[in-house]
Structures are given as structure tokens and as C-alpha cells.
Amino acid sequence: MTSADMVTYCGIYCGDCLGYTGVIADAADSFLDVLDKYKFYMTARNVFPEELGDYDKMIDMLLFMSELKCHKTCRERSDEEASCIVRSCCKDRGFFACHECSGFEGCETLTSVLGGLHLDACLQNLRGIREMGLEAWLRDGTRHHYWDE
């Protein structure tokens, strides 16, 4: 897989994504292992019953988080696996990514999909790709992420 294949249609770089790298899932797994190893449920129940009364709910959340892994990039997924309207829009227009569209800056589709989390980072990435070209951006550009803002 080339590094270009790691760029999503909306401008996220999969190689840095929390889901693709598995950093959150791995941390949740590690935490679950520590809690299990030391039978921390007993401490929660007997020492901190008020503070950790929802211990089981926390375990359920950690189990959920431990599954937050992407095993394929956006581009590796089949159309059935990836039902993203940004992806569909780009593919329908024959675009590699949104940077090829003259209207990506005010795009309602991008905003509707990414507005709550990734929009600003994606727009910065797409601007960089448009200005520098994809290969130069991959080599020399700055990849933006919502956690850097």
C-alpha cells in the first residue's frame, strides 16, 4: 500500500487515525487487563462503593472502546463496507479526494459528515494537498488532526 492509499476522500490520513493505529483500543485493552489481573472489581465494590458504583458500566465502555479499530483503510474497504457519502461523492465524480472539487471549502456534505469532529483538520489537509500536490504533501506537508487543535 502506498502512502497515497492512506489518504481518505475527505483528507484524513489513516496512518495517523486513532482507529487505524488502534491506540485507544490498545489502551482500553491494557487497562482491562490490569483491572482483571488485580481483581479491581473487589476494590471498587468494597473500598469505593459510592465512587465506583457504576464499575460494570465502565467495564462495558472499556470493552466497547477496545473494539474501536479499523482493520482496513477507507480506500481498502468495499462500497458495502464503507457507506460514507463523502466517499460516494468523490467516487461518483471521479475524484481522488475532495481537494479536486472546487467547492470543498463550503461543502455541505463534508460539513454534515465531519462537522462535529474532523472538519477543520480535513479542510486544512485538503488545502495543503491542493496547494502542494498529493505527493509533496505526503512527503513535506503537515497532517492535521482534531486532537492537535
Q: Along the chain (149 residues), what's the average pLDDT of each consecutive run of 10 residues?
A: 89 92 97 98 97 97 96 89 91 97 95 92 97 96 87
Q: How far is Cα 132 from Cα 75, in angstroms, rounded to an integer?
A: 22
Q: What is the pLDDT of residue 132?
A: 97
First to last CA, the chain: 29
Contact status, residue 104 vs residue 11, Cβ threshold 8 Å: no
Domain locations in the chain?
3-16+74-148, 23-65
Question: From the CB of residue 119, how many other CB atoms can be counted at a distance below 10 Å?
Answer: 18
Q: What is the pLDDT of residue 109?
A: 95
Write down the pTM of the prediction. 0.85
Q: How far is Cα 71 from Cα 19, in angstroms, rounded to an integer?
A: 8
Q: Please tell me what DSSP assigns to residue 143.
A: P
Which residues on adjacent β-strands are paired with residue 13? 7
Q: How far is Cα 26 from Cα 73, in angstroms, rounded to an integer?
A: 18
Q: What is the pLDDT of residue 134?
A: 96
